[in-house]
Structure 1
Amino acid sequence: MSLAYGKGRNAMLPPIVNRILLVKNLPFKITPEEMYDLFGKYGGIRQMRIGTDQNTKGTAFVVYEDIYDAKEACDHLQGFNVMGRYLVVLYFQSNHRSKKPDLPKEEERVEQLRRQFQSMGNDEEYEFH
């Protein structure tokens, strides 16, 4: 894959690559200093957020100054063993929904749109292909 995108800083990167990494499966006892030591090897870090709540423990966001540094960190730290745990390092996707849709609410919204469309005076049935 490195041949497809080149090794230089001017190489084209896939669209999924960005400066923000989502790190999962972190040891609960990892310190911020240990995180900076581990992720700072790959470049300047703008911000780091380590989960502290019950539902966010073991996760972190790492924001790099440079997108190429983030790519290198993701490539090298994916599956890296830290304190007996293998890291899962992903590019953060802001449009990714972590919550499941509320199906009854969505069904009601579809029904409202159906009623609205029918009230527009279109009595004919439409088939969508």
Structure 2
Amino acid sequence: MNAVNKGGRGARLPPEVNRVLFVRNLPFKITAEEMYEVFGKYGPVRQIRVGNATDTRGTAFVVYEDIFDAKNACEHLQGFNILGRYLIVLYYQQNKVTKKMNLQKKEEELKELKTRYGVGDD
């Protein structure tokens, strides 16, 4: 089914819109069930991954079945208050993550080359 004609909803979507949302500023104690309850109101959710490591706590990925449901959730849940925390809801952008990882890798390689060849940062 063509996304343009799906249910007559909108002709074009901005390029950053996709089915995967990245959610920040979540309460640390929120459960997956509570996440499904909040985000499921906007359409069928394929998957929710709540961060539980020290550096990912308070974040989650929410994957919708339909791009329009993700767009609707993003628009309505931005700034939504859950247990005194205001949600930050963004579209997940793989290229930004990859670009950041590539930059870190290049910096490490440069540092290694400088060490190997005795080049300083004087």
Could you say which TM-score interval applies, normalised by the shorter chain? 0.7 to 0.9
Deviations 1:13-48 (A, max 9, x none): 001000000000000001111111100000000111
Cα offset for 1:11? 2.1
For 2:19 and 2:58, how far apart are their aligned partners in 1?
A: 20
CA change 1:104–1:53 in 2 (3 A) is closer
TM normalised by structure 2 equals 0.76
Counterpart position of 2:18:
18
Counterpart position of 2:44:
44
Which structure 2 residue ranges, 5 or more long, are not aligned? 1-7, 114-122
1:103 paired to 2:107: yes
Task: Give the structure with higher Rg (CA).
Answer: 1
Partner of 2:39: helix, strand, or coil? Answer: helix
TM normalised by structure 1 equals 0.72
1:56 paired to 2:56: yes
Taking only the aligned residue pairs, the percentage that are identical comes to 61
CA change 1:35–1:105 in 2 (3 A) is same
For 1:106 and 1:11, how far apart are their aligned partners in 2?
A: 46
Counterpart position of 2:81:
81
CA RMSD in angstroms, aligned pairs only:
1.9
Cα offset for 1:106? 4.0
For 2:108 and 2:44, how far apart are their aligned partners in 1?
A: 46
Structure 1 moving runs of 4+ over 4 Å? none
Counterpart position of 1:30:
30
More helix by share: 2
For 1:72 and 1:104, how far apart are their aligned partners in 2?
A: 40
Number of aligned residue pairs: 102
